[in-house]
Structure 1
Amino acid sequence: MKYPEPQPSSRGGVTVEKNQLIEKTRARRLFLLALLFLLLYLTYLLFKPYLGTVVFAIVLTSVCQRFHKRVLQRCKDRKNLAAFLTTAMLVVIVVVPLVGFSTVLVNQGVDSFGQVNTWLQEGNIEKMLSWEWVQPLRSMINRQFARLGLEDLNVRKIILDASAGLGQRILSWGKDFLGNVTGLVVQCLLLILLVFYFIRDGQAILEKLKGLSPLSKEQEERLIDRVRDLSRSVVMANGATAVAQGFAGGIGLWIAGISPLFWGTTMAFTSLIPVVGTAVIWVPAVVYLVLVQSWGKALFLVIWSMLVVGSIDNFLRPFLMKGDGGISSIYLFFAILGGINFFGIVGILYGPLILGVAAILLYLYEHEYSEMLAEE
């Protein structure tokens, strides 16, 4: 009786083939991920010069989303027409006035510093330093300088050099601004184009990103809602408060006899700086009025700046930042400071946005791993 010869087990061969298949699949995935990250980095380099414009377009789109929904309803869901009308509204309200205003602002800034230089060259600073009530203060400062081994305080030279330097810098900024008209026009056109496409196709882009996200639907909605709330909050609260403070400050400066357009606009920008805010502008203005012995105007500017301009920051900003988009004042303080330090002036926008997104991601993490975190 013949027995069948034992066949070699195929289990070992199958296991080897399976392991090889797993390794090949892993290698393909790693290669695909490496290629993807490389191309994403190259894409970032392509968009880097226009990154600020892209972010600003996204924020503007988020801010005007509610208005666009109403326009879309009126246009009977014709997306192209609704997106065009919404974008045109933004251009008329934001872009055109901003460009024209910036040109006037640069010219008035140069004129303001030219007037300061003329006033100093006429010897007015020497007249002020000869006043009786200034002499004790000047002597005290000079004694302190002498102890430090420094020369006597030359106030005229210090102010003249500072004014000339700042005036030249503003003049340089103005020349760059006016000379780079082509670049400015390109940026404005790019902004308008991006806003149009984000308004029209924003929802489709968002759905595509959701499809690529590993987060749950609930987590995605929370994250998107948070970014929208923050965009509206940062733009509406900080932007509207800055404009209101700059406008009110400009009125006070105009009544006090100081150039309102340039310094009022500067006050609007400085209002975004935590703690010091508009005081960076109105305190030196008060000192100037005191030095020229305009006591009534100086007193008026102090009262106006503290009661009117200051109250705008205390009441308008908290009112506009109420709700889910609001950020604690202390966190907002560090977010704006860090944003300005790292990104420059656009950090006023980026800082709170980054902080807010980080906060919601921490919340999602806490919610996802609540059971594990609760274990002792």
Structure 2
Amino acid sequence: MSNKVKITSSHWVLIVALLAAAYACFLLVEPYINSIVMAFIISLLMFPIHQWLEKKLPNHNNLASLLSCVILTFIIVIPLLIVFSAIVQQGSVFSQNTYNWVTHGGIQAVFEHPLVVKGLALANKYLPFDEINPQEIAQRVATLATSFGSNLVGISAKILGDATNFLVSFFLMLFVLFFLLRDHDKLISAMRHILPFSRSQEDKLLEEIEKVSKSAVMGSFLTAIAQGLAGGFGMWLAGFPGLFWGTMMGFASFIPVVGTALIWIPAAIYLFLIGDTTWAIFLAVWSIAIVGSIDNLLRPFLMQGSAGMNTLMIFFSLLGGLQLFGLIGLIYGPLVFAITIVLFNMYEEEFQNFLDQQDRS
């Protein structure tokens, strides 16, 4: 008996109506799509813990899913609150110390450094700008240091003011995560039934989505955490507020090409100019050898299972995802690339005879 289905006009009407209805549903959930996607990805990461809870609590799927969500809440929310409070405290202290350093002649001593004097002289002589006046720069740095503290307080207040939106998104993600964990088998079965692929193709597609989702999270966020910890430790040894600048280096690691150098290069230059040459060299060597190697070794290692993507493809998937979707694009970008590669491989297998014939013609 043939398995082929004859497509009639009524089928086309049904397909068009289904696509229109699906698009309408997408418009309804679009404002919450990031929460839904993050719930899906976190469900993949949490599933081993959830499976362990299910074994300990047989016939209590609701309770197991609820406990998984509670565990996730403690893993994410409590560390975030601790880090946020420490950032505000250390950032305020840093801004006050910077202001005191500027007003007590610290920046003037920097401008009197022989290398700085020569650099300013060359800049004033050859660059097509107005003359660089050290006194004006010192005044601007003092103003910036003064405003930094108030800006930090303002940013903190804004973050606290947006806490409601964050909580809504977070609890929406937990709500979706609860059902994804509880009904995991049913959802997978329904997806397999709907997809017009063979079982082997479905296995390949679903396996690659799971693999890339995990590797994107591990590759981006674990690398940022590792670089933040290593960078913060180095900054702390060099005399800077470790937690504050470690967090800043963690965020900076998401910036393509520049990365953590955005933080440690100015810090090393500052140490060199104030006479702490040993610590300046230490910070530079530490940042290049330790912090930089984390990005060069750990990220590719964690993302090596991304659908056979090479380093160049991973780089552009991260860069393009960040540009198109923002921070969440660090996950979306590799996912889009990986699914495209899997679908291309499926296309190649499905039309292999035709493609081979075309090659021979």
Deviations 1:44-67, CA, capped at 9 Å, x for gaps:
232222211111111110112233
Paired position in structure 1 for 2:123: 141
Paired position in structure 2 for 1:3: none
Deviations 1:337-372, CA, capped at 9 Å, x for gaps:
111111112111211111111111111111111111
Alignment of 1:170-249 (within 5 A): 171-249=153-231
Q: Identify which of 113, 137, 141 aligns with 1:131.
A: 113
How many matched pairs?
351
The separation in 1 between residues aligned to 2:145 and 2:340, in whole angstroms, is 42
The separation in 2 between residues aligned to 1:374 and 1:165, in whole angstroms, is 68
Paired position in structure 1 for 2:132: 152
1:303 positional shift: 2.0
Question: What SS does structure 2 have at the residue aligned with 1:58?
Answer: helix
Paired position in structure 1 for 2:31: 49
C-alpha contact (below 8 Å) 2:220/2:254 kept by paired residues: yes
1:241 positional shift: 2.0
**Are 1:257 and 2:239 matched, yes or no?**
yes
Instruction: Give 5+ residue unaligned stretches, structure 2.
Output: 1-5
Q: Which structure has the larger Rg?
A: 1
The separation in 2 between residues aligned to 1:275 and 1:222, in whole angstroms, is 33
Question: What SS does structure 2 have at the residue aligned with 1:345?
Answer: coil
C-alpha contact (below 8 Å) 1:59/1:231 kept by paired residues: yes
The separation in 2 between residues aligned to 1:294 and 1:156, in whole angstroms, is 20
Deviations 1:138-188, CA, capped at 9 Å, x for gaps:
10011123xx25343554366567667876765544222111222222122
User: What amino acid sits opposite 1:259 in the alignment?
Assistant: P
User: What amino acid sits opposite 1:93 in the alignment?
Assistant: I
The separation in 2 between residues aligned to 1:149 and 1:81, in whole angstroms, is 68
Q: Identify which of 258, 267, 277 aligns with 1:276.
A: 258
* Pair 1:358–1:107, CA change in 2 (3 A): farther
Q: When the two structures are superposed, what TM-score results if normalisation uses the length of structure 2?
A: 0.86
Choose 167-176 or 123-132, whichever is displaced more: 167-176
**Are 1:364 and 2:339 matched, yes or no?**
no
Deviations 1:217-246, CA, capped at 9 Å, x for gaps:
221111100010011111123322221111
Choose 125-134 or 290-299, whichever is displaced more: 125-134
Deviations 1:19-74, CA, capped at 9 Å, x for gaps:
xxx99x62x55554444334333322322222111111111101122332232222
The separation in 2 between residues aligned to 1:109 and 1:208, in whole angstroms, is 50
Choose 356-365 or 64-73, whichever is displaced more: 64-73
* Pair 1:361–1:255, CA change in 2 (3 A): same
User: What amino acid sits opposite 2:188 in the alignment?
Assistant: L
The separation in 2 between residues aligned to 1:106 and 1:202, in whole angstroms, is 40
1:248 positional shift: 1.1
Give the RMSD, CA atoms, in angstroms. Answer: 2.8
1:288 positional shift: 1.3
C-alpha contact (below 8 Å) 2:94/2:241 kept by paired residues: yes
Choose 43-52 or 259-268, whichever is displaced more: 43-52
The separation in 2 between residues aligned to 1:31 and 1:299, in whole angstroms, is 70
Question: What SS does structure 2 have at the residue aligned with 1:317?
Answer: helix
C-alpha contact (below 8 Å) 1:107/1:174 kept by paired residues: no
Paired position in structure 1 for 2:323: 341
The separation in 1 between residues aligned to 2:24 and 2:113, in whole angstroms, is 65
Q: Identify which of 21, 28, 36 aligns with 1:39.
A: 21
C-alpha contact (below 8 Å) 2:307/2:342 kept by paired residues: no
The separation in 2 between residues aligned to 1:149 and 1:275, in whole angstroms, is 28
Instruction: Give 5+ residue unaligned stretches, structure 1.
Output: 1-21
User: What amino acid sits opposite 1:124 in the alignment?
Assistant: G
1:129 positional shift: 1.0
* Pair 1:304–1:149, CA change in 2 (3 A): closer
Q: Quick one: percent identity of the two aligned structures? A: 33
C-alpha contact (below 8 Å) 1:245/1:312 kept by paired residues: yes
User: What amino acid sits opposite 1:307 in the alignment?
Assistant: A
1:295 positional shift: 1.2
The separation in 1 between residues aligned to 2:184 and 2:96, in whole angstroms, is 48
Paired position in structure 2 for 1:312: 294
The separation in 2 between residues aligned to 1:326 and 1:262, in whole angstroms, is 37
* Pair 1:165–1:74, CA change in 2 (3 A): same
The separation in 2 between residues aligned to 1:227 and 1:117, in whole angstroms, is 50
Paired position in structure 2 for 1:66: 48
